[in-house]
Structure 1
Amino acid sequence: MSRPIQIHNHPFRFLLYLEWILLAVAALSEVSPYPFRRIPRLPLLTFLSIAAYGLIGLRLPTGKQIQKILYTCLEILLISVTTFAGGMRLFPFPYIVLVIRSCLIFQLPGRLVVTSLSFSLFLLTLLRWFQNFPARPVLQNRLRFFLLSYALLFCLSLAFVLLLMNALLTERQSREKLVSANEQLRQYALRIEDQATLQERNRIARDIHDSLGHSLTALNLQLETALKLWSVDPAKATKFLVQAKKLGSTALQDFRQSVSAMRSNPLQGSSFEEAIASLTEEFHCSTGISPAFIMLLGHPLPAEVTTAVYRIVQEALTNISKYSQATQVKIRLQATSTDLQVTVQDNGQGFNLNENTTGFGLQSMRDRTLALGGQFKIDTAPNAGCCITATLPLPRALE
């Protein structure tokens, strides 16, 4: 059940103050003298009714429909006591307050019903006030015109209040939906960030297990064999030690690649060209292959684009060094006025697209490309090499 509307959680505090001002003005009007005394006056009853009417406005029901209806009936009863029995002069004010409150507790159909009922009661009160008015025949037409104008003015006032309240409530609901949507987006962003972090950790753990773990295990076996042969055949033991040193170098290279992959800013103050050149140099040192590198940019790239391209090229070179058995690698970066095309091609053993497209490396490159609204494509076949192409859109400011 929804909480009742009170002072501390009132959606529009200024409307509550407006209610008090209207009711206070209506009460003070009872102090001023009447120009005629055709309606019996009971000032004490009027004051008490207005006070009670104001107090019940401090707690508006928002739960069950029956509670709202009973609350509205109590409001109408207090207004009737005030206007019909007390003879309040500014009797339209409580009806305006009634419409304001109905907009806070009812949906649109209920608001229309309460507004129509308020206007009907206003007309009854107005006719009662002026039915015995001692007007000469010459003033009758003026009196009818006054009553018609007064009723029309009040009708327009109710319509204005109703439209204003609907606009305020609609704007508030839109703002609440926007806040809720922003909160959901924030939660989704946190989930995606956590998932990306977990995937990155899993990838690093898998890399350490597959490369560094394998190298260290082989290194340990080479050292154990060398120790056993050292006293028997030092020359052969030396060969095992040389092999162990190579495995140690490989393990160190794998460790450096894992550390590089964990960096949040892979460029680290270097220019984009220097960072890509560093990747190709590391690849050459670890594999002996010197990639053919072509970069045609023409203008600086946004930071998010350079980071994504760096990671794509890094992941592509890592996959080539691990799986492709290639002897030639080509890297091409070419920018146009609308997009940037990244191509990494090798002449390795390739693979079957229908069997091997869900690896973390390929998925990571695809996700980075799609996250920037780009297109990712793989052209490969067994014994036919592999060509990875990522096309990234560039901001219009670069056109």
Structure 2
Amino acid sequence: FIMLVHSLKLPLKRPALLKVTNLTLTLAIVIFVLIFAYLLRPDTYPLLRLASLLPIIWFSYRFGIVGAITSATLINALIIVEAIITDEPSNTYISQLFILANAITSMVLGAAITELKRKNVELKKINRALTKQLDQNSRLAAKMVTVQENERKHLSQELHDELGQNLTALKTDLAILSHISNEKTQTFVTTLKNNANAMYDSVYQLMHYLRPRELDELGLKKAVVQGRLKSLLNQANISYEVSFTLEQALSKEHEIAVYRICQEAVTNCIKHSNANSLTINIKSSEHFSELEIRDNGDSVKLTDNTGHYGLAFMQERSMALGGSFEIINDGGFTIKVKLPIKTVG
């Protein structure tokens, strides 16, 4: 009843009205049950007095030791008043037992609940600190990924502008030299041309690894569907299928993350799987982007020092953007990534 009166002072909003309604129903049900039981069996009156423990338990849960002592004091006062009014020796004896039981119950429950609430407050404080630290770590990881991509882009551009142009000039000079050289030096010039071509291919692959230019030039969809990933899989005789279901265009950092994960998954499929088909499914909603990469490999090639660095790399990419990363190895190898993203129009 005290809780109900206290709740009536709250602003009459939906949560307050719901609380008042619940308390009113609880009080009405308890009173109805007690009166009904007493009218049905008056001899159970001493047993019905056990209901005096309910407010003690309730107040202990809500207010700890203060609520337990307060409720026990009020209930024991009512028991004493009733014993004085009835003035029956048996009732006085029973009242003494209930007063003692209520006092012990209130002290034990109050102390236990107070300690539990104190621990709960400490845990909430620690949880807030950990959540704050996790947010800071996520922002730092995302920033590190952005810085890494910028450095890769810069290095790739430098390789293209400096080393790439020099190798192109070298190949041109060797082509001219092969036309003016005699038969004695022709074999040597041919070897130089082959070495220059191999160096150019290596530099091109390195530039693509550092920064896939097709992603900047073609966009995510064409880069994944028609780009180098398809070429690598075709060379390995692995069939390739891509499904795109994007409601809106993704932000640049998420496009890079999705492409990088696809790139690493394709590399792992070629090097460490016996699969002959690979499927990529990319879809996005208003708040999330989901990536699923699945192959039908039934075993893993026994290669030394694989280290699982590719999987760790993909997981780090996902975690840096606050996403989830899941691996399923059942009837093939499946990678599922879910990223909470902001889409751009």
Q: What interval of TM-score do these two structures reach, taking the shorter chain for normalisation?
A: 0.3 to 0.5
Q: Which has the higher helix share?
A: 2
**TM-score in terms of structure 1 length:** 0.34
Structure having the higher Rg: 1
**TM-score in terms of structure 2 length:** 0.39
